Amino acid sequence: MTEEPVENILKLTHLWVKHHLNIYSVKVAAREEVGMGSWKQRMDFPFSRSGLTLGAACSLSLMKDILTNAISEYPEEKTKVFCAVLQQLRTLGGEQIRNVASLGGNIVSRKSTSDLNPILAASNCMLNLASRGGKRQIPLSDIFADGVGNNTITPEEILVSVYIPHSRKGEYVSAFRQAPRRENALPITNAGMRVLFEEGTDLIKDLSIFYGGAVSTTICAKQTCRTLIGRHWNEQMLDEACQLILKEIALPGSPSGEKVDYKKILVVSFFYRFFLEVLQSLRTMDPCRYPGIPMEYRSVLQDFKTKIPQSIQIYQDIEPSQSPQDPVGRPIMHQSGIKHATGEAVYIDDLPSVDGELFLAVVTSSRAHAKIVSIDTSEALKGPGVFDIITAHDVPATNEFYYSDGPEIIFARNKVICVGQIVCAVVADSDIHAKQAAAKVKIEYEVLEPVILTIEEAIKHNSFFEPKRKLEHGNVDQAFETVDNIIEGEIHIGGQEHFYMETQSVLAVPIGEDKEMDVYVSTQHPAIIQEMVAASLGVPANRIMCHVKRVGGAFGGKLLKAGLLASVAAVAANKTSRAVRLILSRGDDMLITGGRHPFIGKYKVGFMNDGRIRAVDAKYYINGGCTPDDSVLVAEVSLLKMDNAYKIPNLRCWAYACKTNLPSNTAFRGFGFPQSALVTETWITGVADKTGLSPEKIREINMYKENEQTHFKQKLDPQNLIRCWNECIEKSAYYSRKTAVNEFNKQNYWKKKGIAIVPMKFPFGLGTRYLSQAAALVHIYTDGSVLLTHGGIEMGQGIHTKMIQVASRELNIPMSCIHFCETSTTTVPNACASAGSAGTDVNGMAVKDACQTLLKRLQPIINKNPKGTWNDWIKEAFEQSVSLSATGYFRGYNENMDWEKGEGQPFTYFLYGAACSEVEINCLTGDHKNLRTDIVMDIGYSINPAVDIGQIEGAFVQGIGLYTMEELKYSPEGVLYTRGPDQYKIPAVCDIPEQFSVSLLSSSQNPYAIYASKGIGEAGLFLGSSVFFALRDAVTSVRNERGLKKTFALNSPLTAEQIRASCADDFTEMMKNNESTSSTPRAISV
């Protein structure tokens, strides 16, 4: 190690510390130990005989490399600390974070969620500090000695390097962590533990236990460690240790709503895992004295590891007779795929700035239900660059839109009805100035009663949007009298954030004459944007031109919500006569725009002992939030699709859209089906539990058969449903794997596997004809190139790629001749929303129609010169004054539903599918791994199998998110806590099943849609529930083994926390007996 004068170290490290505040900036490595010389030198440099010293500026990635290298070079006995630190580094943040985050930064910021501090502190690591006063060395654990992490390092000091000691003979070191997602997620709780035994014995000589994530800083179980010195490493010590730890680590409720009980269970479960690890290690020392742990306990010592998923896509080849140029049915790459990946694809925020453009930041309500007493904008107006403040008074015409039972509101006028409602907006010369000023707007409120947040509260206050809906079929009451058995239950399904990559974005540009305005917006529904903006400004729709090139994901979240935000920007642009750009931050987007409806399904199911379900009586409640949006429609769809794949002869169900003081919820991929079908599959498994038959048997017995009708009397042909089911059973080798799962479960106590297969019927339709009409416009230019447009929106799902395929087939020209520029209200008026999986179906028909019109016009010219080229014919057509532009139109599907009678044909056809998933859970932590999923889907004749399978895979993974991990947390005052990727976890690569196969059902045709295809956007999402039920299967196996109650309820999302709580054991019992367990939850279930 070079001796560097303190002054020099300070200069270098200060420079680095300064730069280092920006995580993306290049760091000047602290020269002390690492950061100089060649790679090899760097690797060799830091080692000494007793340990390793790393410079504080060492990136976590470099640290990982150094430790990996050290482990391979040193004897195992010396590297136990290195191994434990490396264990944490593997899942700490992600690769990008580890590349820029530094060892020193991680330690000094003293975050409770640091994955390094607990293990470094437990391992007796030392910090080398320097200041103008000199250098000194302190144990890392000293920083946390005061229990709040404020100790010891003075503001003048900098951390120069960190000394990590070798482990010694008889010393065992481990690190643990549990996060909401295995990778790229801060830990819920983590731990570092070290024990040193008296030589050749199991008598504890030194013990060190540190936890992170539990309280506001890293914390040491000091007393526990002291008390246990001199004890033997045995069950008695374990019992005592757990009691002591629970007493010492008093956990307060965390403001973000994380439940304390789970952290407590983790705290003791981690110690138990350490106990097992050490017992097993002692065995290697002396197998006669220390027999190690039972065989069936050993698998829990292995953590789940992420492997690169292996995926298989199976689809039918095109007919050999098909022309090589005809792209229909071929797996063509998304036309913008490369641009999406390189970042060249243009989204709203990428549009070049317009002269004089202003930025808009919204000011939102901080109360759930209150009168606005005053709005003080004086401080905000003084802010730098502030141009104006826009309120309801600046809306020239409509501030409130009535689409159903109650208004959708642009700006709150006199009162607010949820936290996150837009009250006013600041426009300024930059985004940052607008946001700074927005924070200075002071709003005085007078709280109004009642504040209704949850479904239960809405029921209590009879607060619903109208109409309430009911479907009844057969004679339910009579059927209940004749059944062998009845179960009753309830399931709560949490909401879901759309989490589109592109947040809500608008650029409103006043043209400067005749009140015209261009509105560039990220929406699925340009026509509604045009309508709402025109109505708010009080101008005819023909003055508002709405343009959408592409949308960075929408999933249903960019319909009415985008219209309100576009109106906010347009009102500001109108008032200021400037272009106004509004790009919601992720936090604001999550706060303001709502998402999938939280759902409660209450059910009573009557069935025979042989598994036949005879009667269902159910009530569904969805949390609609503060305005109606599509809530009643979502409730209706949840009723219409509640049967999933089953014929229920006697059925009654009510659906209520609850009116609450939460941000208004809205459309989301699946539109009520993912929730109502989960309720159905829940009672299916309930019936299985009660009858002792397997869930798949119950599913098969009750599945639709030939010539049956739905509960609203629509006929269906279930042949492909049964084919999907059988193929899925076969392709997944379900029965042999189920046997293997059972075998695994017999041999493993703390790890269990689960497997489940779930069928799906997904009805396609929008309920009425006018909602599925569509139009297209096709121009042929004289150079032969074709410009195509239609009313559909590209939101990543590949609609434009498919439409170009359609035009290519119809015009018989290569796809490369056809271009799609944008969707716009100026080219296709009154287009319906791209929603409900209908985009390709309806726009495809319109494009086909337009192309056929053009081809008809060209036909005489082609007939005259059959050997001519496309360009020859176009030139000739132009010279003959044949119009080279045509519109195409599709009237929509003849769908209807009579809610009075409870009968109708609301759907045009049905998609079918089945998914089989296998998982493994860790009963000590609740963690799980998705091992394998096999999906078989009937999507008719796929126009583009690459795009369609992408939709199935993407939707399935979004379903995994909904059912197993995505948790929205609200405060008891109605404030959304989870407002970004830090708090709200969507699935990542580590959550994709290790083996993932999607097969499209062969020889399936659909007479109702373009080229016999089926609309595929939404259906796959529900298949994510197969993971939910596989988890349930694993939990059932735990509970059966432990003799626990057979009937148990699981809610969605089935998070690690819930899995852990359901795998009841001595540790969960310990929690019950622990006095401080009764801490009030800080988050409410809405």
Beta carbon of residue 94, minimum distance to ligand FAD (angstroms, whole number): 7
Of the pair 153, 915, the CB lying nearest ligand FAD is at 153
Span interacting with ligand FAD, options 108-116, 131-139, 266-274, 560-568, rule CB under 6 A: 108-116
In whole angstroms, give the CA distance from residue 386 to residue 1046: 63
Give the footprint of ligand FAD on residues 582-611 (CB under 6 A): none
Q: From the list 9, 28, 54, 92, which residue makes contact with ligand FAD (rule: CB under 6 A)? A: 92
Per CB under 6 A, does 87 bind ligand FAD? no
The residue from 35, 46, 51, 105 that contacts ligand FAD (CB under 6 A) is 105
Minimum distance from CB of 18 to ligand FAD (Å)? 8
Out of 46, 93, 329, 686, name the contact with ligand FAD by CB under 6 A.
93
Judged by CB under 6 A, which stretch of 61-69, 99-107, 228-236, 523-531 contacts ligand FAD? 99-107
- Per-residue contact track with ligand FAD, 197 to 236, x per CB under 6 A? ----------------------------------------
Nearer to ligand FAD, 158 or 417 (CB): 158
Task: Please pick, from the candidates 53, 87, 102, 269, the single residue that binds ligand FAD as defined by CB under 6 A.
Answer: 102
Cβ pair 599, 590 in contact under 8 A = no
> How far apart are CB 1043 and ligand FAD at their closest, in Å?
38
- Rounded Cα gap, residues 465 and 443, in angstroms: 29
Residue closer to ligand FAD by CB (options 13, 685) is 13
C-beta closer to ligand FAD: residue 20 or 848? 20
Count the Cβ atoms, other than its own, within 10 Å of residue 468: 12
Return the HEC string of 714-727. CECCCHHHHHHHHH
Q: Which of 2, 5, 21, 38 binds ligand FAD (CB under 6 A)?
A: 21
**Binding residue for ligand FAD, selected from 79, 114, 650, 680, defined by CB under 6 A:** 114
Q: Give the whole-angstrom CA distance, residue 357 versus residue 580.
A: 6
Residue number, 13 or 999, with CB nearest to ligand FAD: 13
Q: Compare residues 114 and 676 and give the one whose CB is closer to ligand FAD.
A: 114
| 13 makes contact with ligand FAD (CB under 6 A) | yes
DSSP 965: I
Q: Check residue 647 and give left, alpha or beta (phi > 0: left; psi -120 to 50: alpha).
A: beta
Instruction: For the CB of residue 63, give the shortest distance to ligand FAD in the complex, in Å.
Output: 11
Bridge partners (DSSP) listed for residue 171: 196
Binding segment for ligand FAD among 14-22, 79-87, 314-322, 955-963 (CB under 6 A)? 14-22
The torsion of the CA quartet 409, 412, 416, 421, rounded to 10 degrees, works out to: 70
By CB under 6 A, tell whether 23 contacts ligand FAD: yes
* Under 8 Å between Cβ of 907 and 714: yes
Q: Which two tokens stand for residue 483?
A: 């059944």
Query: Which of residues 9, 10, 12, 17 is near ligand FAD by CB under 6 A?
Result: 17
- Kindly state whether residue 55 participates in binding ligand FAD, applying the rule CB under 6 A: no
> Tokens 């107006």 correspond to what residue?
381
Residue with structure tokens 């010279």? 879
The DSSP secondary-structure symbol of 857 reads H
Based on CB atoms, which residue is closest to ligand FAD, 104 or 844?
A: 104
Q: Kindly state the smallest distance separating residue 115's Cβ from ligand FAD, in Å.
A: 4
Q: Is 915 in the site for ligand FAD (CB under 6 A)?
A: no
Pick 54 or 426: Cβ nearer ligand FAD: 54
Strand partners, 375: 443
Which part of the chain contacts ligand FAD (CB under 6 A), choosing from 100-108, 459-467, 485-493, 759-767?
100-108
Q: How far apart, in whole angstroms, are the C-alpha atoms of residue 979 and residue 776?
A: 39
Q: Pick from 495, 428, 483: which is nearest to 616 by CA?
A: 483
* Residue with Cβ nearer ligand FAD (116 or 389): 116
Question: Going edge to edge, which strands form the sheet with 51-55?
Answer: 51-55, 158-165, 126-131, 134-139
Residue of 32, 33, 115, 630 interacting with ligand FAD (CB under 6 A):
115
Q: What is the 3-state secondary structure (H, E, C) of 76-136?
A: HHHCHHHHHHHHHHHHCCCHHHHHHCEHHHHHHCCCCCCCCHHHHHHCCCEEEEEECCEEE
26 lies in the binding site for ligand FAD (CB under 6 A): no
Q: Does 186 bind ligand FAD (CB under 6 A)?
A: yes
Calpha distance 924→1043 (Å, rounded): 17
- Rounded to whole angstroms, the Cα distance separating 902 from 472 reads 7
Closest-approach residue to ligand FAD (CB) = 105
The tokens for 308 are: 């690169």
Name the β-bridge partners of 780. Answer: 786
Residue 593 has which token pair? Answer: 């725009």
Closest CA to 620 of 690, 679, 565: 679
* CB closer to ligand FAD out of 188 and 571: 188
Interface residue with ligand FAD among 109, 236, 1002, 1005 (CB under 6 A) is 109
The DSSP-derived string for 363-384 is EE-S-SSEEEEEEE-HHHHTST
User: Catalytic: 743?
Assistant: no
Nearest-10 crossing angle of helices 1025-1041, 673-691: 30
Q: Which one of 700, 727, 810, 1018 is the catalytic residue? A: 1018
Q: In this chain, which stretch among 109-117, 498-506, 603-611, 742-750 interacts with ligand FAD, using CB under 6 A?
A: 109-117
Task: State yes or no: residue 983 binds ligand FAD (CB under 6 A).
Answer: no
* Helix/strand number for the chain, H first, E second: 30, 37
Rounded Cα–Cα distance for residues 234 and 222 (Å): 20
Q: Which is nearer to ligand FAD, 160 or 389 (CB)?
A: 160
Say if strands 406-409 and 464-473 run parallel, antiparallel, or are unpaired: unpaired
Nearest to 103 by CA among 47, 146, 164, 190: 164
CB of 9 to ligand FAD, least distance (A): 10
CB of 991 to ligand FAD, least distance (A): 16
Min dist CB 183 to ligand FAD, Å, is 9
Report how far apart the first and last C-alpha atoms of the chain are (Å, whole number).
Answer: 58
CB of 178 to ligand FAD, least distance (A): 12
- Say if strands 358-364 and 406-409 run parallel, antiparallel, or are unpaired: unpaired
**Residue 104: both structure tokens together:** 């020193």
Strand partners, 148: none
Residue 681 in the binding site for ligand FAD (CB under 6 A): no
Number of residues that bind ligand FAD (CB under 6 A): 23
Q: Which of 56, 81, 509, 947 binds ligand FAD (CB under 6 A)?
A: 56
Q: How far is the CB of 154 from ligand FAD (least distance, A)?
A: 10
Q: How far apart are CA 319 and CA 341, in angstroms?
A: 32
32 binds ligand FAD (CB under 6 A): no
Please state the closest distance from residue 1055 (CB atom) to ligand FAD, in A. Answer: 18
Which of the stretches 19-27, 276-284, 359-367, 586-594 binds ligand FAD when contact is defined by CB under 6 A? 19-27
Q: Least separation, in Å, of the C-beta of 937 and ligand FAD?
A: 35
Taking CB under 6 A as the criterion, the residue among 52, 101, 268, 380 binding ligand FAD is 101
The DSSP line for 703-714 is B--TT-B-TTS-
Beta strands in 166-257 (DSSP E): 171-178, 189-197, 204-212, 219-220
Closer by beta carbon to ligand FAD, 113 or else 840? 113
Strand partners, 905: 896
User: Which residues from 118-177 bind ligand FAD, rule CB under 6 A?
Assistant: 158-159
Report helix, strand or coil for 932. strand
Active-site residues, by number, are 1018
Binding footprint of ligand FAD on the chain (CB under 6 A): 13, 17, 20-21, 23, 56, 92-93, 97, 101-102, 104-106, 108-109, 113-116, 158-159, 186
